Chain A
């Protein structure tokens, strides 16, 4: 069995304690969001000039992307810092045949699993709300995982680099929350002032939102879609390389 899977098993064992509550929350969230925003707020929005599709159908894939982002970032923040500083489980792994890259890969596999479960459940809920327009929506599942990892990898690198967990407050306050609100999840970024629009355009969130929206609505074109995928993959690759470096500095002196 590859070393990374051995590390992955630790995270699964750790998740087994909380999985029931976690799965219920993960399934309930999209129902709440789609009811409140899609149906509730949507009734007002649909009276306006319109987005070409009902607001429910517009916002549903955006929320899927944001959820993937939140899980990816959150599961790579405190849990990674904990495995370095509090449970020190990464130190335990490194006393066995596992190497730095195995500890990172094992954790990324776990995050991918968590995001995968969430994406799958969301997709089912979105379909139940009648907001799926195309068979292309099956790609929401792998793309959701990719969006999650585009955040998981760099946040993992950051978690090993930070001296204290206060740094995560800044990450969520000034990074994740603005991306959640202004990256095209709830309204098109074309409504933003040019400077902010440029920032939104550079975030992996917007690329995830746009790709998932076009897949779900069945309007995805090949090249723009591949462009989004390439951009998200770049975040994963750069994040993993940084993580390899910050892990080495932190765990192997």
Chain B
């Protein structure tokens, strides 16, 4: 972590909704220029954490500073320097693409003249310049998300918060969006995002925390987490009928760990190809796939559950 004060600092941060504790004492720092992710299944407390950082939802306990300020006291001042891409779109679909950016910019007190230029530049950045005068309604989900990102950048934010930015988008639209976010990262914009897609976390995050049931289970870079908490490769076995029981010991030390899931068996190993003949011989699977470990495997190891059901 850099010597500079972190942009976000949380210690023992708690969020309760009545009897439910959504965020149960989390600690984390986000440094300037970093792309930081919260990875976890639905209900892990990611969005609640984001809403506290965004100064929309008051914290129930613990410490939180954003841009060196207290969200409780300085909400408007902090929010004036944030860009927020919420989980659900908040666009007015009856207004045009440009109007949505301009109106949003007015909330920040920017002048109309200034906003004409900003809207032009931002819509070009998210490749919506040709749709500037069209109503938002008929745009695709991916376009609406890109518009939301353009809008979130209207105040040149110090910190961009993205809550599940690509949920519900088709693969092409997701890649288009990742590309834009990657460019922002290169320009030095600090990104904080939540996701339940491990590929998204691996693509975008310099550093991430894995959240489960309101707590932080692990923290590190994607590569580091995989190295530390999984093996290099995974052999996935699928079966025509019932999945058999397996003991790691039968593979003579080649297999570090076995996960038996309802639809498949995962064998964690450092050399997948070496394992394939033995696996065929002993278990008679219908299909065998050798792949590299992902954050999904890390998550499975930490929680015993898959990330996306």
Please report A residues at the B interface, Cβ cutoff 8 Å. 1, 3, 6-7, 9-10, 13-14, 17, 87-89, 91-99, 251-253
| Chain B residue at smallest Cβ distance from A82 | B92
Within the assembled complex, what's the spacing in Å between the Cα atoms of A13 and B89?
19
Contact B95 A96 (CB under 8 A): no
A97 with B17: CB separation less than 8 A: no
Interface centre among B94, B103, B104, B108, by most chain A C-beta atoms within 10 angstroms, is: B103
Residues of A within 8 A of B57 (CB): 252-253
* A91-B79 in contact (CB<8A): no
Q: Is the CB of B107 within 8 A of A88?
A: no
Q: How far is the CA of A89 from the CA of B91 in the complex (A)?
A: 7
Q: How far is the CA of A96 from the CA of B84 in the complex (A)?
A: 8
Of A6, A91, A97, A253, most B-chain CB atoms within 10 Å:
A97
Taking A6-B107, A91-B90 as known contacts, 12 extra A-B pairs with beta carbons closer than 8 A to each other, sorted by chain A number, are A6-B106, A6-B109, A87-B92, A87-B93, A87-B94, A92-B104, A95-B86, A97-B107, A97-B108, A97-B109, A99-B75, A251-B56
Q: How far is the CA of A31 from the CA of B94 in the complex (A)?
A: 31
Q: In the assembly, what is the distance between CA of A253 and CA of B89, in Å?
A: 18
B259 beta carbon closer than 8 Å to chain A:
no
Q: Which residues of B contact A (CB under 8 A)?
A: 17, 54, 56-58, 75-77, 79-80, 82, 84, 86, 88-95, 99, 103-104, 106-109, 155
CA of A13 to CA of B56 in the docked complex: distance in angstroms?
25
Given A93-B107, A97-B109, A253-B17, A88-B90 contact (CB < 8 Å): yes
Q: Which residues of A contact B17 (CB under 8 A)?
A: 253
Inter-chain contact A252/B108, CB cutoff 8 Å: no
When A87-B91, A87-B93, A252-B57 are in contact, do A97 and B106 touch as well, CB less than 8 Å?
no
Closest to A106 in B: B107
A94 to B17, CA, bound (A): 20
Q: With CB as the reference atom, state the residue of chain B lying closest to A93.
A: B107
A253–B109 Cα distance when bound, in Å, is: 26
- Please tell me which one of the listed residues B86, B89, B99, B107 contacts residue A98 in the complex, with CB atoms under 8 A apart: B107
Q: In the bound complex, do residue B88 and residue A96 qualify as a contact, i.e. CB atoms below 8 Å apart? A: no
CA distance A14 to B94 in the complex (A): 8
Are B104 and A13 neighbours in the complex by a CB distance under 8 Å? no
- A95–B77 touching, CB < 8 Å: no
A95 contacts B79, C-beta separation under 8 Å: yes
Q: Which residues of the partner chain B approach A93 to less than 8 Å between Cβ atoms?
A: 107
A93 to chain B, nearest CB (A): 6
Chain B's nearest CB lies how many Å from the CB of A22?
14
User: B155 — which chain A residues lie within 8 A by C-beta?
Assistant: 96
- In the assembled complex, how far is the CB of residue A247 from the closest CB belonging to chain B, in whole angstroms? 12
Give Cα A151 to B142, complex, Å: 40
B79 is contacted by which of A1, A10, A13, A96 (Cβ under 8 Å)? Answer: A96
Once the chains are docked, how many angstroms separate the CA of A251 from the CA of B56?
8
10 contacts between A and B (CB under 8 A): A10-B106, A13-B103, A89-B90, A95-B54, A96-B79, A96-B104, A97-B109, A98-B107, A99-B76, A252-B57
With a CB–CB cut-off of 8 A, which chain A residues contact B88?
88, 91
Contact A14 B95 (CB under 8 A): yes
From A13, A87, A252, A253, B90 is in contact (CB under 8 Å) with: A87
Cα distance A87–B54 when bound, in Å? 20
CB distance A94 to B80 under 8 Å?
Answer: no
Kindly state the separation between the CA atoms of A3 and B106 in the bound complex, as whole angstroms: 10
Q: Give chain A residues whose Cβ lies under 8 Å from the Cβ of B58.
A: 252
B86 to chain A: which residues have CB within 8 Å? Answer: 91-92, 95
Tell me which of B75, B82, B103, B107 has the highest count of chain A C-beta atoms within 10 A of its own C-beta: B107
Which residue of the partner chain, among B54, B56, B79, B93, contacts A97 with CB atoms under 8 Å?
A: B79
Query: Using Cβ atoms and an 8 Å threshold, which residues of chain A touch B92?
Result: 10, 14, 87, 89
Residues of B within 8 A of A95 (CB): 54, 56, 79, 82, 84, 86, 90
Most chain A beta-carbon contacts within 10 A, residue among B54, B94, B106: B106
A96, B80: Cβ atoms closer than 8 Å: yes
Q: A-B pairs with the 6 shortest C-beta distances?
A: A96-B107, A92-B90, A95-B84, A97-B76, A88-B90, A97-B80
Chain B residues positioned under 8 Å from A6 (CB to CB): 106-107, 109
A217 to B203, CA, bound (A): 74
- Complex formed: what's the CA distance from A63 to B94 in Å? 32
Task: Report chain A residues within 8 Å CB of B106.
Answer: 6, 9-10
* B108/A13 in contact, CB under 8 A: no
Residues of A within 8 A of B79 (CB): 95-97
Known: A13-B103, A253-B57. Contact between A96 and B108, CB under 8 A?
Answer: yes
Docked pose: A91 CA to B107 CA in angstroms? 12
Task: Report B-chain residues with C-beta under 8 Å of the C-beta of A9.
Answer: 103, 106
In the bound complex, CA of A97 to CA of B107 (Å): 7
Say yes or no: A13 contacts B99, CB within 8 Å. yes
Give A187 to B262 CA distance when docked, in angstroms: 75
